[in-house]
């Protein structure tokens, strides 16, 4: 109880930027911060506006000017992510230009969050830094389909859109004919497509690791069920607590550091060539990982922000 009373003596103001106030993750951050005596606010970025002039930067929720917090917990969803990123940058600039009374700490900075929105950009950065990722080809023209097949090998193929979460925009093609049809349809709609190798030996399982400030704080193994090859919890996958191998734990921590993320959900798959990074999420959901691992991830995040600010 001494810890709580200490926080009550010097409460922090924390803003959670989330367009969905009722989401499990948003609620958990709010609960843990409130429990520790902090002043918690949830602001949906889509309902916020940013004002600036020379030496003045302000944020508004409706017609109400928003006070400068000690820190923000940004959640980047699929709805108008560019606007959310602009709001996060505004918080960051307010601190840098000195118009804020306290330095605003963002759990994750806007630039790494923007970079991780695009799955292919994420893999480019990791591959450049010698982190193992599945063989992948980004195409924007049907003329490059055969080249992609030639580089990756025989089907099945994983087809992905560069942006998407919770398994949306991800499909599997068991033949070149099916893959070609999917790819041509997506490109015809003005979309880029990532063609990726299928790791058969993983048998529909992958791992989600939560990294906070360079430390691995929780991990779970996800197993796809039924006819759905995707191992996302929102797709009905089964999850259980997991202990990563030394190599896998090292890989996920390095991936988060290379991408500049303080808080990250790193998806990893075990292959014959060793652990590979599938994706890195700058706004990982808490429901699946807290339930499977038994780790209070939200509390860890609030504690980290306290220590960083104080």
Domain boundaries in the chain? 2-106, 114-133+201-298, 136-197
User: pTM to 2 decimals?
Assistant: 0.91
Q: Looking at residue 1, what is its pLDDT?
A: 34
CA 289, CA 101: separation in Å to the nearest integer? 36
- State yes or no: pLDDT of 143 exceeds 90: yes
Number of CB atoms found within 10 A of residue 14's CB: 26
Edge-first strand listing for the sheet containing 39-43: 39-43, 13-17, 71-74, 105-106
List the CATH code of the domain at 114-133+201-298: 3.30.470.20
Residue 9 has pLDDT above 80, yes or no: no
Could you give the CA distance from residue 169 to residue 159 in angstroms, rounded to a whole number?
8
Give the right CATH number for 2-106 from 3.40.50.150, 3.40.50.720, 3.40.50.20, 3.90.1150.10.
Answer: 3.40.50.20
Mean pLDDT of 159-181: 88
Task: Tell how strand 48-53 and strand 56-61 pair up.
Answer: antiparallel
Q: Can you list the alpha helix ranges (DSSP code H) found in the chain?
A: 2-9, 24-35, 81-96, 110-116, 119-128, 145-152, 176-188, 246-258, 287-293, 297-309
What topology does CATH give the domain 136-197? Dna Ligase; domain 1 (3.30.1490)
| More confident position, 29 or 225 | 29
> Does the pLDDT value for residue 225 go beyond 80?
no
- The DSSP call for residue 40 is E
Does residue 227 register a pLDDT over 60?
Answer: no
Strand partners, 222: 206, 239
The lowest-confidence range among 51-55, 90-94, 145-149, 227-231 is: 227-231
The lowest-confidence range among 12-21, 71-80, 114-123, 220-229 is 220-229
Has residue 165 got a pLDDT over 90?
Answer: no
* Residue closest to 122 by CA, chosen among 251, 286, 265, 277: 277
Residue 3 has pLDDT above 70, yes or no: no
Which pair of tokens denotes residue 111? 């630039």
């Amino acid at each position: 109880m001494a810890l709580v009373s200490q926080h009550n003596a010097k409460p922090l103001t924390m803003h959670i930027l989330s367009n969905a106030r009722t989401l499990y993750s948003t609620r958990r951050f709010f609960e843990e911060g409130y429990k520790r005596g902090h002043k918690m606010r949830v602001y949906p970025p889509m309902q916020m506006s940013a004002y600036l002039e020379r030496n003045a930067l302000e944020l508004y929720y409706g017609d109400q000017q928003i006070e400068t917090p000690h820190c923000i917990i940004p959640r980047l969803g699929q709805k108008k992510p560019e606007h959310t990123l602009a709001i996060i940058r505004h918080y960051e600039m307010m601190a840098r230009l000195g118009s804020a009374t306290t330095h605003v700490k963002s759990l994750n900075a806007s630039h790494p969050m923007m970079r991780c929105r695009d799955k292919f950009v994420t893999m480019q950065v990791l591959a450049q830094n010698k982190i193992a990722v599945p063989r992948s080809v980004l195409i924007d023209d049907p003329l490059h389909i055969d080249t992609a097949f030639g580089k990756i090998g025989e089907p099945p193929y994983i087809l992905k859109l560069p942006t998407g979460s919770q398994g949306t925009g991800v499909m599997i093609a068991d033949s070149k004919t099916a893959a070609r049809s999917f790819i041509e349809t997506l490109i015809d709609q003005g979309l880029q497509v990532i063609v990726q190798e299928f790791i058969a030996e993983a048998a529909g399982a992958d791992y989600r690791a939560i990294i906070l400030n360079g430390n691995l704080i929780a991990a779970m193994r996800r197993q796809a069920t039924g006819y759905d090859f995707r191992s996302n919890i929102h797709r009905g996958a089964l999850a259980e607590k997991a202990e990563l191998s030394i190599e896998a734990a090292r890989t996920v921590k390095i991936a988060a550091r290379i991408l500049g993320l303080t808080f990250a959900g790193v998806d990893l798959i075990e292959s014959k060539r060793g652990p590979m990074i599938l994706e890195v999420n700058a706004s990982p959901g808490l429901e699946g990982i807290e339930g499977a691992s038994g780790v209070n991830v939200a509390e860890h995040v609030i504690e980290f922000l306290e220590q960083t600010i104080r």
